[in-house]
């Protein structure tokens, strides 16, 4: 074989004549498919055309995983139709070439295999996955406002059937190794200790892929139009085409062009250079920036103690147990802890498919009425009700029992840390770690840095948040911090519109049409009308509470938790009537206080800069991601 001088690939040749092509992107922790790497892959294929190896195995040289996808930085440079077509052509043609080689090929997938990485793997004859929790496979391009244009829209439906493939591509969700084998995406699933031997056996086996069942064949072939129509009907319920055009483009390209985006060059330009794609790529980089905040300390917790087993405290405890930590959950009685344990079991059963692993998570969550876990915990989180005196008493008692190295955190949503810390012998050790409800769904956690805070403790808190797979956002101590401070005037304005005679359903529909994931009135019901009232007085400096809010609180109708608020609630769902005609300019009116407050908090230095404010509001409230965030939206 010719000596190849490649920067990112290295080759190994064994005694059987099997070549292993190892991708190890220079200077990076993870592999991404940049133009340079794709060009080098083309050189490899040129060489293999000459030598015709017995077999080729593609694998990663990184501990982080197989291939994370395309190089997202390159998408920020696609400022013309020609550049968009060029980048699609590059991968489509190269992976078609890989798929057509005469020698057997195999992708050995360990760790993440996403986007272009999965498209490369699909172009190989065989796909072998390693059974580890870190192995995740998917085509998440839709999350960036684009589509999988390098063969994924063609090969994934062919491999696992159109219904399953469309579900993955339209949602951007990933699957684990066992699910990949079950669906037929992977030819086999093996433990790490035998992966190399299994790869060599499989690539030389001559075996054929498992054929699609008859139903899948029909839905992917003769009834393709029916499959696409059904998928489109489901998609409309989740994403509006004017906000998120990419999933609709995926359906069109699969249905009309057999997954080949190059058949419709105008569509490529409309999607890749759309405002939505630019903003969603922006959101991706904002997310990566938040993750970096969690890398400023090597702190790792093994035991978390949570005080307060209400909805928030109980769900924080459950999430930490789900992420592998031992958790002791304290409240005044077992009866008060029991509902949290019940919710935790449902979370574990839903999130963990292996019953034994779900049981392990359940065993990590320990009821602790006496509070014995405090002395051993690495992180102690206070999550009781918002009462200054009650928190003073609790924090003072916790400080006396904790080990010196532990983090003492409060989950307060509106009280200033300076006011809470006055009872502590060492006020500097108190830090805010503020989760959002529902804990299992909201990715953001605010880490509060007060004037009194110790910098090392804040960095440890940021690291802890990243450890439990949340996005940490540092903010300064102020009423409501960032997220609640911007939500409160928005919710108050929505209730004032109800006072004016606009129905709650119409108010909510106006903001759903704007792109919010939940309407502001339903949000008030979900948060609790009493909480919204308290937030309004503490955060928004409102001169007068909305009349509709006062009336419902007087009747004891506090929203979802009491079964009735602005809506009646049945089985956890708001029972809504039909929305009326939306008054012109209503959405703009309702969102204006949120935009104004976000800018004010940036100006006051509560959050570091406008980009971080956008990130916080997107990941903490669900603010329409396709806009790129409230401040990005406000400047057009």
Report the catalytic residues.
413, 434, 446, 484
Q: Is the peptide bond before 438 cis (omega within 30 degrees of 0)?
A: yes
Helix axes of 529-538 and 520-527: crossing angle, nearest 10 degrees:
100
The C-alpha atoms of residue 632 and residue 282 are separated, in whole angstroms, by 10
Helix axes of 81-99 and 265-272: crossing angle, nearest 10 degrees:
110
491 sits in which H/E element? helix 483-499
H helices of 387-454, in order, are: 388-401, 417-420
Q: Quickly tell me which residue has 């949290």 as its tokens.
A: 340
Give me the sign of the Cα torsion angle 265, 268, 269, 271: positive
The C-alpha atoms of residue 635 and residue 610 are separated, in whole angstroms, by 11
> CA dihedral defined by 384, 387, 389, 390, rounded to 10 degrees?
-20
Give every CB contact of residue 493 below 8 A, 6+ residues apart in sequence. Answer: 520, 589, 590, 592, 593
Q: Quickly tell me which residue has 């344990």 as its tokens.
A: 341
Burial of 264 (0-12, 13-18, 19+ CB in 10 A): middle
Give every CB contact of residue 457 below 8 A, 6+ residues apart in sequence. Answer: 407, 428, 429, 431
Q: Are 200 and 188 a contacting pair, CB within 8 Å?
A: no
Hey, which residues does 473 pair with through a beta bridge? 446
Based on DSSP, count helices (H) and strands (E) in the chain, helices before strands.
27, 20
Structure tokens at 625: 């991601």
The C-alpha atoms of residue 424 and residue 380 are separated, in whole angstroms, by 14
């Amino acid at each position: 074989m010719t000596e190849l001088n490649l920067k990112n690939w290295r080759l190994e040749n064994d005694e059987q004549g099997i070549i292993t092509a190892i991708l190890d992107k220079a200077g990076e922790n993870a592999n991404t498919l940049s133009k340079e790497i794709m060009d080098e892959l083309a050189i490899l294929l040129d060489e293999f055309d000459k030598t015709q190896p017995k077999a080729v195995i593609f694998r990663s040289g990184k501990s982080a995983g197989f291939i994370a996808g395309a190089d997202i930085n390159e998408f920020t440079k696609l400022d013309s139709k020609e550049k968009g077509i060029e980048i699609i052509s590059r991968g489509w043609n190269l992976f078609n070439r890989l798929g057509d080689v005469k020698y057997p090929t195999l992708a050995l997938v360990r760790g993440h295999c996403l986007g272009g990485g999965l498209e490369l793997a699909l172009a190989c004859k065989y796909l072998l996955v390693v059974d580890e929790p870190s192995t995740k496979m998917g085509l998440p391009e839709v999350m960036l406002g684009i589509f999988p244009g390098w063969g994924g829209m063609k090969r994934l439906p062919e491999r696992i059937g159109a219904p399953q493939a469309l579900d993955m591509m339209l949602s951007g969700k990933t699957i684990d190794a066992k699910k990949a084998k079950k669906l037929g995406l992977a030819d086999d699933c093996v433990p790490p200790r035998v992966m190399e031997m299994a790869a060599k056996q499989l690539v030389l086996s001559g075996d054929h892929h498992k054929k699609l069942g008859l139903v899948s064949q029909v839905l992917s072939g003769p009834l393709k139009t029916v499959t696409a129509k059904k998928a489109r009907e489901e998609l409309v319920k989740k994403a509006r085409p004017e906000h998120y055009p990419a999933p609709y483009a995926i359906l069109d390209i699969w249905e009309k062009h057999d997954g080949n985006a190059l058949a419709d060059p105008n569509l490529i330009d409309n999607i890749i250079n759309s405002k939505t794609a630019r903003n969603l790529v922006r959101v991706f980089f904002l997310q990566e920036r938040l993750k970096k905040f969690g890398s400023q300390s090597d702190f790792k917790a093994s035991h978390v103690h949570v005080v307060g087993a209400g909805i928030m405290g109980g769900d924080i405890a459950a999430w930490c147990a789900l992420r592998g930590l031992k958790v002791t959950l304290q409240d005044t009685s077992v009866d008060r802890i029991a509902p949290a344990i019940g919710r935790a079991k449902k979370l574990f059963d839903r999130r963990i498919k292996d019953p034994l692993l779900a049981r392990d998570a359940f065993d990590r969550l320990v009821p602790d009425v006496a509070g014995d876990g405090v002395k051993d915990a690495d992180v102690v989180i206070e999550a009781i009700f918002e009462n200054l005196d009650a928190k003073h008493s609790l924090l003072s008692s916790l400080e006396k029992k904790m080990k010196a190295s532990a983090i003492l955190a409060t989950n307060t949503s509106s009280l200033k840390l300076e006011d809470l810390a006055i009872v502590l012998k060492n006020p500097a050790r108190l830090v805010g770690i503020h989760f959002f409800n529902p804990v299992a769904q909201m990715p953001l956690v605010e880490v509060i840095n007060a004037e009194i805070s110790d910098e090392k403790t804040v960095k440890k808190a940021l690291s802890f948040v990243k450890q439990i797979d949340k996005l940490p956002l540092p903010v300064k101590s102020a009423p409501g911090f960032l997220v609640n401070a911007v939500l409160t005037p928005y919710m108050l304005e929505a209730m004032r519109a109800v006072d004016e005679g606009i129905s709650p359903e119409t108010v909510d529909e106006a903001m759903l049409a704007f792109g919010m994931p939940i309407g502001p009135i339903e949000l008030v019901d979900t948060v609790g009308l009493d909480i919204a009232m308290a937030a309004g007085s503490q955060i928004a400096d409102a001169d007068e509470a909305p009349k509709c809010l006062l009336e419902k609180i007087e009747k004891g109708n506090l929203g979802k938790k009491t079964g009735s608020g602005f809506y009646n609630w049945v089985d956890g769902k708001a029972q809504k009537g039909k929305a009326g005609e939306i008054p012109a300019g209503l959405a703009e009116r309702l969102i204006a206080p949120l935009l104004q407050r976000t800018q004010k908090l940036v100006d006051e230095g509560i959050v570091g800069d406008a980009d971080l404010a956008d990130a916080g509001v997107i990941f903490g409230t669900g603010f329409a991601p396709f806009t790129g965030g409230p401040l990005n939206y406000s400047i057009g």
